Structure 1
Amino acid sequence: MDNHLSSVKNSCKLMKAFLDSDKELGVSELSRQLQLSKGAVHKLLMTLESEGFIKQNPANKQYSLGYTLLELGNKVLTNHNLAEFAKPLLQTLADTTQEFVCLCARDQYEAIYVDKIESKHPIRFNVDAYRRFPLYATSAARSILAFRDDRFIDHVLSEEIRTFTAYSMTTPEEIKERLNRIRANGYEVSSNMRNVGVTGIAAPIFDADGTVNASISMIGPTDRVQPHLDAFIQHVVTTTKDISNQLGFRGKS
């Protein structure tokens, strides 16, 4: 039994139609997209306009999203806590992979782990919550840095590069090449760079405007991660895409 009100559902679909359009839409176009009669679409538009969710351009009679949605969106952002928001998906990723997973966020020019779920394996990787790292130092940090602009990246790499193992990258050029690969792939996989014998898989979280200020990573002993590498990559990428979409991102991640 469908417990959804069809009129409310159609109203939601109508407003979502504007997410994929960079222009105003008219009754005929909305009727075609929603597969509803022009009369039904017109009634929906009139109702939504009366509450400020839709506004009409008097010059061409076309419609766009109204300012009430902007107010609601700002309210969401004000109340938004990424750690709480992402927790259920973070837990699902941990349950699926049985490995350590964490949420990483950018704080100025550093990365900080703001949430984590530990692996249940007796032999496992762990990291302290709220620990800070340079934005080039870990798979999660690089997955954020890769999607910042060149000026920001140059600033991060202008100071002396810290190394953590014999496999750590040591020059800005080497790191930039790595960042280019992350952007192309949409994720990062690294072994031994921060801890020998450990492999991390990370992917970025995109905000509604396309910026990246956070990422999710899954980390475990290399000999346990490598046999499942492709599947684990897919799980991590799917998780960050789901979070990005729920944050309002509509681009290609």
Structure 2
Amino acid sequence: MTGSTIQSVDRALTILTLLAEHGPLGVTELSGLLDVHKSTAFRLVTTLELHELVEQTTDRGKYRLGVGVLQLAGATTARLDIVQRSRPVTRRLADELGETVNITVLSGHDALYLDQTAAASTLQPYNWVGQRVPLHATSNGKVHLAHVSPARFAELTAQPLRRFTDHTKTDVTALLAEVAATRRNGYAVAVDELEVGLTAVAAPITGPDGEVAGSVSASGPTFRIPAERVSEVAAKVVEAAREISRQLGWHGLAAHSSPF
């Protein structure tokens, strides 16, 4: 069963490659190139069509690459674009604050770390790039929660929220109030919520379409970012987020009206 599934995936991916190389192809042509029965080729191409990875041309019976491929490529390009365009800003922010700066995007039910920059004066921190962190217990996560629809918020907080420390907010009503404040203030704060001794401040990055495309945060030991320093750090993080947004092509004042 496992071998059959892997073989099917391999053949489906091969179809995408063939269409990229040859242009529109019919089921008979695909079955010949794949060396499989026409019924097998038809099932594979039908499955790909359901996911919009292929589509039929006006010449019925022939298939070409679909908009789903463009959407996947666009998502990847957008993420790479955030990293590339934010690097000069995050390096400057890290050196100004003397802390670690991260870029994240919303991925499924988590915040996914895309990039990390550490101040030259600090010890090399744990590398979070490629790691996923919970939304409710991190400043980056709260930024993402603050910019989704009420329905999406409900979906993301439907499961019992895990408690990481005594400071982790696990009550959905309290979390909703906090993310609403995040929208009003323009930034989110997490103090000792994911791990004791860690404070982070994050702000939203807005894409060219006016939607929140990611977040930028500065984090460090709580003793280096005490309560009286949070406003200073927040101001610099918010300005960095605005600069990255401008680099991405957004020149407005706010992402969109509050859904809460």
Q: Same fold (TM over 0.5)?
A: yes
User: How many residue pairs get matched?
Assistant: 179
CA distance in 2, matches of 1:192, 1:124: 20
Encode CA deviations 1:175-230: one digit per residue, 9 max, x unaligned.
11110010010001221111112211110001122211310000011121125332
What is the match of residue 38 of structure 1? Answer: none
Q: Is the 8 A contact 1:102 1:115 kept in 2?
A: yes
Would you say 1:245 and 2:237 are equivalent positions?
A: no
CA distance in 1, matches of 2:175, 2:230: 22
Q: Is the 8 A contact 2:101 2:116 kept in 1?
A: yes
Runs of at least 5 residues in structure 2 that lack an aligned partner in the other structure: 1-73, 255-260
1:246 is matched by which residue type in structure 2? Q
What is the match of residue 150 of structure 1? Answer: 150
Q: CA deviation at 1:108?
A: 2.4
What is the match of residue 3 of structure 1? Answer: none
Q: 1:122 to 1:236 in 2, by over 3 A?
A: closer
Question: Equivalent residue of 1:113, what SS?
Answer: strand
Would you say 1:138 and 2:111 are equivalent positions?
A: no
Q: Is the 8 A contact 1:209 1:249 kept in 2?
A: yes
What is the match of residue 213 of structure 1? Answer: 213
Would you say 1:224 and 2:224 are equivalent positions?
A: yes
Question: Equivalent residue of 2:251, what SS?
Answer: coil
What is the match of residue 52 of structure 1? Answer: none
Encode CA deviations 1:43-102: one digit per residue, 9 max, x unaligned.
xxxxxxxxxxxxxxxxxxxxxxxxxxxxxxxx9x95762111211111111111110111
CA distance in 2, matches of 1:181, 1:211: 18
Which portions of structure 1, spanning 4 or more consecutive aligned residues, are displaced by more than 4 angstroms? Answer: 77-80, 120-125
CA distance in 2, matches of 1:148, 1:205: 14
Would you say 1:165 and 2:155 are equivalent positions?
A: no
2:208 is matched by which residue type in structure 1? A
1:230 is matched by which residue type in structure 2? S
What is the match of residue 109 of structure 1? Answer: 109
CA distance in 1, matches of 2:120, 2:85: 23
Question: Equivalent residue of 1:88, what SS?
Answer: helix
Q: Which structure 2 residues correspond to residues 14-25 of structure 1 after superposition, within 5 A? A: none
CA distance in 1, matches of 2:155, 2:252: 27
What is the match of residue 88 of structure 1? Answer: 88
TM-score (norm 1): 0.65
CA distance in 1, matches of 2:201, 2:125: 13
Q: 1:86 to 1:173 in 2, by over 3 A?
A: same
Encode CA deviations 1:20-43: one digit per residue, 9 max, x unaligned.
xxxxxxxxxxxxxxxxxxxxxxxx
CA distance in 1, matches of 2:77, 2:165: 40
What is the match of residue 118 of structure 1? Answer: 118
2:231 is matched by which residue type in structure 1? D
TM-score (norm 2): 0.63
Identity of aligned residues (%): 29
Runs of at least 5 residues in structure 1 that lack an aligned partner in the other structure: 1-74
Q: Is the 8 A contact 1:104 1:216 kept in 2?
A: yes
What is the match of residue 235 of structure 1? Answer: 236
CA distance in 2, matches of 1:200, 1:88: 20
Q: 1:96 to 1:171 in 2, by over 3 A?
A: same
1:99 is matched by which residue type in structure 2? E
CA distance in 1, matches of 2:120, 2:221: 13
Query: RMSD in angstroms over aligned alpha carbons?
Result: 2.3
